Amino acid sequence: MMRIGFVGLGNMGFPMARNLAAAGLDVVGFDIATGVPGGVKQGEDVRMTSKGRDIVVTMLPDGDVVRAVAAEIIPIMKRGSVLLDCSTIDVESARAVANDSGSAGIHFVDAPVSGGIAGADAGTLTFMAGGTSVAYEMVRPIFEIMGQRSVHCGDSGSGQTAKMCNNMIFGVTLIGTCEAFVLADRLGLDRQKLFDVVSTSSGYSWTMNAYCPAPGVGPVSPADNDYRPGFSAELMLKDLRLSQRAAEQVDADTQLGRLATDLFERFVDMEDGLGKDCTAMLPRLETRKRDQC
C-alpha cells in the first residue's frame, strides 16, 4: 500500500487528503490550524508526518513556507521517496527545493493545481507537473485519485510556470469579459444576447463559457452565489503577482498581465474585493466611469 504524508490541510489540502484516504491509501496528515479528514491519521508534526512515507504531499500558502517545510522534512524523508508540492509558488522556490531534494536522494515534483475547492472536493483537479519523468510516473497514480488530468510540463519549475501563465491569461480575459458586459449594458444590449453571440464566436473563452461573471447568464458560477469565492480575488492577485515577478526576472514584456495585476491590486488592497470571487470585478466595473482611477 502506498504510504502518503500530507502537510497542509486547508481548503484545498483537506479534500485532497480525504480523497486519497477514501481510495484506500495509508495517509497521515498535519496542519498547524486544522484537524484531519475522516480516514486520515493525525500526524504529530511535519517531520513525523513525512518520516518513512513513499510520497509526501505539501499544499502550502507560498514559497517561503514551502522552503521552510522542505528544509525540515527532506533530511528525514527516506531516500528514493517523492516530495510532491501542489502549492502555487514562485519558480525559483520550486527549483531551490528540487535541488535540495535531489542532493538528499529525494525526488521532487512541483504540481500546482487548477479546479479550485470544488475540483479538490470532487477529485477533478488538473495538475501541472514539473520534474523528471521518473518522478512524475511515481506520483501519477495519486494524481488520478485527486484529479481528472495531469500534464507533465517538463523539468522542475515547469509546473509553476504553466500555472502562472494559465492564470495570467485567465486574469486578462476575465477583465476583458467584464468590460464587455459593462459596455453592452450601457449600449442597451441584453446580457444573455451578448453571451449567446460571444460564447459561439471569436470572443469564446473559458471565462465567458464556463465561469461567466454575469449572474443568470451561462452555467452556474460564483456570480450566481453573490460572488462568494470559487477562485477568490486575492488568489487571482497572488498568481498575477507571481507572473509579473517572473516576467521581471526574464525581461518579458507582459503589459496586459501587468495591467491586470494593477487592477486586482486596487480591487483587493484598496477596495472591497477581499473575500469575494475574482468575477466580482464585474460589479466593480459597473459603477465606474471611463478613465476613472
**Which residues form the catalytic set?**
163
Question: In sequence order, which ranges of 63-113 are alpha helices (DSSP H)?
Answer: 63-73, 91-103
Neighbours of 104 (CB within 10 A): 16
| CA 281 – CA 149 distance, rounded (Å) | 29
> How many other CB atoms sit within 10 Å of the CB of residue 145?
17
CA distance 155 to 131: 4
Q: Kindly report the number of other CB atoms within 10 A of residue 59's CB atom.
A: 25
Distance CA 11, CA 229 (A): 12
Which residue in the block uniquely carries the three cell numbers 519558480?
Answer: 91
Q: At what angle do helices 191-198 and 158-187 cross, to 10 degrees?
A: 130
Query: How many C-alpha atoms does 267 have within 13 Å on its Cβ side?
Result: 29
Measure the CA–CA gap between 178 and 282, rounded to whole angstroms. Answer: 5
